[in-house]
Amino acid sequence: MNFNFFSKKKVEPPVGERVFDLLAITMLFVIGMHATHVPWWLSVALVMILGWRWWQRRQRDGSVPGWLKLPALALLTLAVIVHYGNIFGREPGTALAVGLLVLKLLETETARDARVGISFACFALMAALLFDQTMLATFVVALGLLPALATLRALEPAQAPIAFRHSILASGLLLVAALPLALLSFVLVPRLGSPLWGTPSNGAASTGLSDSMSPGDFIDLLTDDHPAMRVSFGDRPPPPNLRYFRAYVMWNYDGRNWRYAGGRRALTQPAALEATRSIAYRISLEPTQQRILPTLDVPLAAPAQASLRPDREVVADRPINDPVTYDLHSALHYRLQPILDDATRVAGLRLPDRFNPRTLDLGAQWRQRYGADDEAIIRAGLALFHDGGFRYTLAPAPLGRDAMDDFLFETHEGFCEHYSSAFTILMRAAGIPARVVTGYQGGYWNALGNYLLVRNSDAHAWSEVWLAGRGWVRVDPTAAVRPERVTLGAAAAAGDQEAWYRSGWIQGLQNHWDIVNRWWDQGVVGFNALRQRGLLTPFGIHDTDTTTLGILLAIGSVLFIGIGLAWALLRRQPRDPLRAAMRELERKLASRGVKRRSGEGPKHYLSRAARSLSAQREELATLARFYLELRYTHDEPPTESVKMFHRMVRDFRPAGVVK
């Protein structure tokens, strides 16, 4: 018995240029999908590495030496740790995964390496849906699968090179064919009550609303057109001038910032409310990572799993990390806290020392001029903004230590934060209890979907002043400067300051497209474990358990397989084009005296022909190898490769037989 312990391991040949090109395109697509989720410098570095590796592979085959790969791996890990503080979580994990994917290309040479890289690339593409699950993002991820599938098809044995557009088209047909089974799996595969991954989020609120406010903080928010919430009403929606959505009520002012005092006031009872008219509505709120729930004007009560705070804010029991829907009733005409206690009055008049002396002096002058007429003082404040040369702009001049003095007496320009803050301080200086309220105002009424779309750019700040006999009254000083902000919305108020991509027709297109996103959110993103358990409610089954889902999934899978098998068996079988090409080759060889013998296999026949036609030995050897790969390495040979074999046979011109 012979034992050969030193036999050489079979070396796998390197992949061709077409496979490597498709693999590089796939990885470039992955980098693009995550460009907004990872640091810009990392995206640029990865693109440069990818481009260099593609160029290097064009020069010669072979992987990158280890003395380059190991430092690159260490540098990637160090960069992620330095930027994020760790490698755990959604953002750092994604950055590390995308970086490792590109570094994998440095050692990709064989078909096995390429398949591993494609599998990892598909996982990285799916990870992009952790950040954005809109229909457009899902469609773009599906597009990223096309070069991945084209790479796998190019790795098949005896796969003839085909045009790039044809390979992408074939990959698209594969995706379409997989859609029925994917839909069945989406509906019936049992869902978890919470995600399998428990990665912490970045902690940044999607809406951008914060429990503090200082002039200039809203600028990023006012230029963000992402939806903040969608509101549907049981009856007609309120007019634009009543579409104020309360979030934070801010009392504490330190000379620069207004702050929400929810923690200190959380245990007191909600302020008394006398409502003369209420409205029912439902809000679908996007994730904010905060607990505040915006409500229309003044809510009558809090929804489930939330509480009503003293100033009629609604606070959820937990942070809003996923889309949430809640039903409410709110008062549109009311008297809020008509009787003011001494402690609340003191809080509503408190101002810091040694800040904004000119503003405080102006408020005191109004009190001296108008005496006990609080409404006259309010009118004086609004007249100042209306007639005092003030301008609404999203790019105001910077303010100094005495910010409100600079704003009122120097710059005269700003947006809602500036006007609400200045007006509230003026009222307090004049002896009128006042506070700042932040939230949203306006929105676009989508008649087709029958809901009000409120975007992040609809964020707003206004004032509330306390008047004897009326309680807290909303006053919006921004409307005195730019009435369009209330009647027509934030985009109209900004006017020609907006960028071209926020022009009227694009805004209209975005607003109409939102109904598609809403249907997607409700039908796809919102299809959770609870909705899956109620899947069969129309059929009298009120709780679909895991066993039932598994049985339905098995039945559906067998049904799809049966349909596919029946289609394959019953469809008209076309003639064998590969066999037809071989017969044409046999006829050409027979014309030169090399006839195929009875029972002779193609391998032996073509070998004998090559010996007889020595001048065309290499050409016949290529034809033989190509035919055998197509015939015996595939259940059904690729159409493109069969066509190529047919062209090779057609172009073959046999010479005379060697005697």
- pLDDT tens figures, 462-486: 999 999 989 999 999 999 998 887 7
The mean predicted confidence, pLDDT, of the chain is 83
**Among candidates 437, 485, 440, which has minimal Cα distance to 458?**
440
Between 344 and 222, where is the model more confident? 344
Mean pLDDT is lowest, of 150-164, 394-408, 446-460, 470-484, for 150-164
**Does residue 374 fall inside a structural domain?**
yes
The residue range of the domain holding 602 is 577-651
Same domain, 536 and 503: no
Same domain, 360 and 447: yes
Same domain, 363 and 501: yes
Concatenating the DSSP letter of every residue in 546-601 gives HHHHHHHHHHHHHHHHHHHHHHHHHSPPPP-HHHHHHHHHHHHHHTTT-PPPTT--
Q: Can you give the pLDDT at residue 275?
A: 86
Mean pLDDT is lowest, of 86-90, 399-403, 406-410, 480-484, for 86-90
CA–CA separation, 251 vs 348, rounded Å?
Answer: 7
Q: What mean pLDDT is predicted for residues 416-428?
A: 93
Q: Can you give the pLDDT at residue 491?
A: 62
pLDDT tens-place string over residues 33-81: 888 888 899 999 999 999 998 888 888 767 777 778 888 888 988 988 8
Same domain, 566 and 581: no
**Among candidates 484, 487, 517, 512, which has minimal Cα distance to 498?**
484
Q: How far is CA 457 from the centre of its chain?
A: 18
Amino acid 389 reads G
**Does residue 253 fall inside a structural domain?**
yes
The secondary structure of the chain in percent helix, strand, coil, rounded to multiples of 5, reads 50, 15, 35
Q: Is 229 exposed, middle or buried (0-12, 13-18, 19+ CB in 10 A)?
A: buried
CA–CA separation, 382 vs 483, rounded Å?
Answer: 12
Residue whose structure tokens are 């509330």: 464
Q: Is the pLDDT of residue 183 over 80?
A: yes
Q: What mean pLDDT is predicted for residues 323-338?
A: 91
Q: What mean pLDDT is predicted for residues 236-264?
A: 87
**Does residue 656 fall inside a structural domain?**
no
With H, G, I as helix, E, B as strand and everything else as coil, classify residue 13.
coil
pLDDT tens-place string over residues 337-378: 999 999 899 999 999 988 999 999 999 999 999 999 999 999
Q: Can you give the pLDDT at residue 501?
A: 40
**Does residue 421 fall inside a structural domain?**
yes
Q: Can you give the pLDDT at residue 69?
A: 81
**Does residue 517 fall inside a structural domain?**
no
**Does residue 199 fall inside a structural domain?**
no
**Does residue 207 fall inside a structural domain?**
no
Same domain, 536 and 596: no
Element (H, E) at 55: helix 40-59
Q: Is the pLDDT of residue 249 over 90?
A: yes
Q: Can you give the pLDDT at residue 170?
A: 81
Q: Is the pLDDT of residue 200 over 70?
A: no
With H, G, I as helix, E, B as strand and everything else as coil, classify residue 633.
coil
Q: Can you give the pLDDT at residue 500?
A: 39
Domain count, the chain: 4
Q: Which two tokens stand for residue 335?
A: 């008297």
Q: Can you give the pLDDT at residue 614?
A: 82
Same domain, 534 and 438: no
Q: Can you give the pLDDT at residue 433?
A: 96
So which residues are the catalytic ones?
416, 460, 476
Q: Is 251 exposed, middle or buried (0-12, 13-18, 19+ CB in 10 A)?
A: buried
Q: Can you give the pLDDT at residue 222?
A: 67
Q: Can you give the pLDDT at residue 2?
A: 43
Q: What mean pLDDT is predicted for residues 554-573?
A: 78
Same domain, 461 and 551: no
Q: What mean pLDDT is predicted for residues 535-552?
A: 75
Q: Can you give the pLDDT at residue 361?
A: 95
Q: Is the pLDDT of residue 114 over 90?
A: no
Most trustworthy range by pLDDT among 342-346, 429-433, 488-492, 647-651: 429-433
**Does residue 453 fall inside a structural domain?**
yes
Same domain, 152 and 267: no
Same domain, 286 and 395: yes
CA–CA separation, 462 vs 385, rounded Å?
Answer: 14
- Rounded to 10 degrees, the C-alpha dihedral 118/121/122/128 comes to -170
Same domain, 533 and 604: no
Same domain, 83 and 137: yes
Same domain, 274 and 183: no
Q: Is the pLDDT of residue 397 over 50?
A: yes
Q: Is the pLDDT of residue 219 over 70?
A: no
